[in-house]
Amino acid sequence: MNTRSFIARKLVYLVITLIAIIIFNFLLFRVMPGDPSKVLVPRTGDLDLINYIRDLYHLNDPLHVQLWYYFTDTLQGDLGMSSGVRPYADVADLMKPAAVNTVLLVGFGTALAIWLGVTLGRFAAWRRGKAADTLGMSFALTFYSMPTFLFALVMLMIFAGELGWFPIGGPYSDDYKTMSLLGKIADRGIHLVLPVVAFAIEVMADFALIMRNSLTDVLTEDYIVTARAKGLSNKRILHDHAMRNAMLPVVTVTAISIGWVLGGDIMVEIVFNYDGLGLMTWEAVNGRDFTLLQALFLIMAIAVLVANLFADLLYMYLDPRVHV
């Protein structure tokens, strides 16, 4: 199979999966108990207003008609109105600033976790069986097994509370809008330090363990023995021969992690009162905001789907055999 056929097949699979995700996302929130129209109307509200809202959102129509309206509205970017977090607010407009905050937090956190994890895993694998290997993996597993909220709370109490080095929470300061461009960047940066570190330490061990185990297996392959017999330096063996193949499993985990960038990290965002999609998801669950939850789930699913597509294309570059 040539490259074009491989890419075309993946794109067809992506479209089919996307349609299935939209249908499942629609049905999921239709089987849940509750009525969005009653959430929008106070408990003392009249039935006429409730019926008007149900007619407005086609809730009185048959299920297949509701699905058609939902499908066409979604393709046009109309995600509906919030019914709990901020009643009558447009969901798309509500999600945009939270999405920016989450992309900054989880994006930088994921990049830092990948770099730390791959570096630690490579360090441990090259010294497998030695004290450095044991210490490196123990370090990663210690923070991996620690509850996220506990580690985040400790960081918050020490560095923001006791020492006062960083802000106590939030994505930016109250006077953010009046700052200059450099001031805004600096303000965002200092508010990101603690949440990013808490998030990165949480997921770093995944990459460290996978990198260590994958590289350990690759270093026992015959072509690595041949490279040693040719007199190649350890640096060339590691970077030019071993790392390329060892990175394949890491690519999969990286794709999943990048896909979840728009999902946020609920625990980290709650602890640091960080106004992102993770905190918004928590608020939508508490407020029974089905419309907002539906949009959040859809965005998360699409992000993972697109990230997996890029992972497949990267596999094709790293190992051409995957599209044969």
Domains within the chain, CATH numbers bracketed: 95-288 (1.10.3720.10)
Is residue 293 very low, low, confident or very high in pLDDT (cuts 50, 70, 90)?
confident
Highest mean pLDDT (candidates 1-5, 85-89, 258-262, 277-281): 277-281
| DSSP SS3 for 171 | coil
Contact criterion met (CB below 8 Å) for 160 and 194: yes
Please say if the pLDDT value at position 224 is more than 60.
yes
Tens-digit pLDDT profile for residues 21-62: 888 878 777 776 666 666 666 655 566 666 777 777 777 777
Instruction: Provide the mean pLDDT of the chain.
Output: 76
Is residue 190 very low, low, confident or very high in pLDDT (cuts 50, 70, 90)?
confident
**Which stretches within the chain are classed as H helix?**
3-30, 36-40, 47-56, 63-75, 91-126, 131-145, 148-155, 181-218, 222-229, 234-236, 243-259, 266-271, 277-286, 290-318
φ, ψ for residue 5, nearest 5 deg: -65, -40
Q: What is the mean pLDDT of residues 289-298?
A: 82
Task: Tell me how far the alpha carbon of residue 210 is from its chain's centroid.
Answer: 19
**pLDDT > 70 in the chain, percent:** 75
Contact criterion met (CB below 8 Å) for 63 and 30: yes
